[in-house]
Amino acid sequence: MSVLFEPYKISKMEVKNRFVRSATHENLAKNSGEVTDELVKLHRTLAKGDIGLIIPGYMYVHPLGRAYSYQTGIYDDKMIPGLKKLVNAIHEEGSKVAFQIVHAGMYTFSKLIGTTPAGPSGEIMNPVAVEYSKEMTEDEIQTTIEAFIKAAKRVVESGADAIQLHAAHGYLINQFLSPFYNRRQDNWGGSDENRFRYLKEIVVKTKKVLPSNVPLLIKLNTHDYTPDEGITPSLAAKYSNWLIKLGIDAIEISCGSGYSIFNMCRGEVPFREIVQAVPDYMKSMTEYVYKDMVGKFNFEEGYNLKAAKIIKPQIGDIPLILVGGLRTKTFMEDLIKNKYADFISMSRPFIREPFLVKNIKEGKQERAACISCNRCLAAIPNDYPIKCYTNKWPEEKKQTCYFP
């Protein structure tokens, strides 16, 4: 049997194989954030495909931390019945489920949340929304920390097997960790230790409300790819070491932010589809910006592997979950055998092929069919459901304009 199909534990949670469905925004929740039948159906299908651990799309912990209209929410107890349905569907098909919780911080739209987006520091441009952020007050910081803790309790009540904190891709935890986004000179910034404090508070307080059988995972940026230096692999390794000392049970490593979306999802740049999402007065500028990116983010299998080799020695036996362009069975097997990673995490391949793992196990295919065209990524600003649009892009424009 391939090492990919050997069970492996994250703390007390045993996962039946080494495959993880990395959290992927589905654009399928209600506008209120509540779970829909379509969202449940999608994840039931993924579980039928024999994925060991499924992490549904990032769930926002506070209304001001929402990134998109049809993002799943976990900010209110009214979400729990729908979240239970989601958990039950995944469990009924034999997979484990972890809920990823997030606050967007400055990476949202004022028209979406009704106020100026806030992060650790003010006057930083959000390149996605073309808006500047404001600096969070002490009270606002404490409110967001408490929102994470309340969301963690809802994860447990919903019956999920684990929790993952989203500290990557430029969202709020990532913003506090990053020297680029966090320019404060108080107790929340000015040094690596102070920038780490926000995440530390969340981890420590979350651990206190979790049952012993519910592992706490984290998705961590290894490189922000921001205009000025943010998180780098060496800083991520330092943070990883500190996280293990706090009791984190597994680390998934990723990269990129709103300044570098296609470092996060390398491959083609679907500029025409992205341009469709913006208002007419922004189309020429947007096309110029994104067209200039074409050919600069060529796909490379395992593009976060270099960072994994730096971070894995810092965390020892704690599982490392690797995402980022993993496509072929032999490459994945070598990662596990060489102890560069303990789990194989994928997003785009499962959008195209929810039964990929099952097919690999049964010997029907040796690699994913995903060609990294990134049209699935372009669906997000257009408010289309996330699915594979390689062969056909919707003709009808169906999006809510968030831009000023």
For 121, the 3-state DSSP assignment is: coil
Residue 96 reports pLDDT greater than 80: yes
Torsion of CA 145, 148, 150, 156, to 10 degrees: -150
Q: pLDDT tens digit string along 192-244?
A: 999 999 999 999 999 999 999 999 999 999 999 999 999 999 999 999 999 99
Q: Could you write out the DSSP letters of every residue in 153-187? A: HHHHHHT-SEEEEEE-TTSHHHHHH-TTT----ST
Across the chain, what does the average pLDDT equal?
95
Of the CA atoms within 13 Å of residue 378, those in its CB half-sphere come to 25
What is the identity of the amino acid at 190?
G
pLDDT of residue 285: 87
Question: 293 φ, ψ to 5°?
Answer: -85, -15
Q: pLDDT tens digit string along 329-344?
A: 999 999 999 999 999 9
CATH assignment of 3-261+300-367?
A: 3.20.20.70
Name the helix (H) or strand (E) containing 320: strand 320-323
pLDDT-above-90 percentage for the chain: 90
Q: Could you write out the DSSP letters of every residue in 22-58? A: EEE--S-S-TTS---HHHHHHHHHHHHTT-SEEEESP
Question: What's the whole-number mean pLDDT along residues 148-155?
Answer: 98
Question: What's the whole-number mean pLDDT along residues 73-81?
Answer: 98
Residue 397 reports pLDDT greater than 70: no
Which of residues 58 and 127 earns the better pLDDT score? 58
Q: pLDDT tens digit string along 253-266?
A: 999 999 989 999 99
Q: pLDDT tens digit string along 97-114?
A: 999 999 999 999 999 999
Number of H helices, E strands in the chain: 15, 15
pLDDT of residue 42: 98
| pTM summary value | 0.97
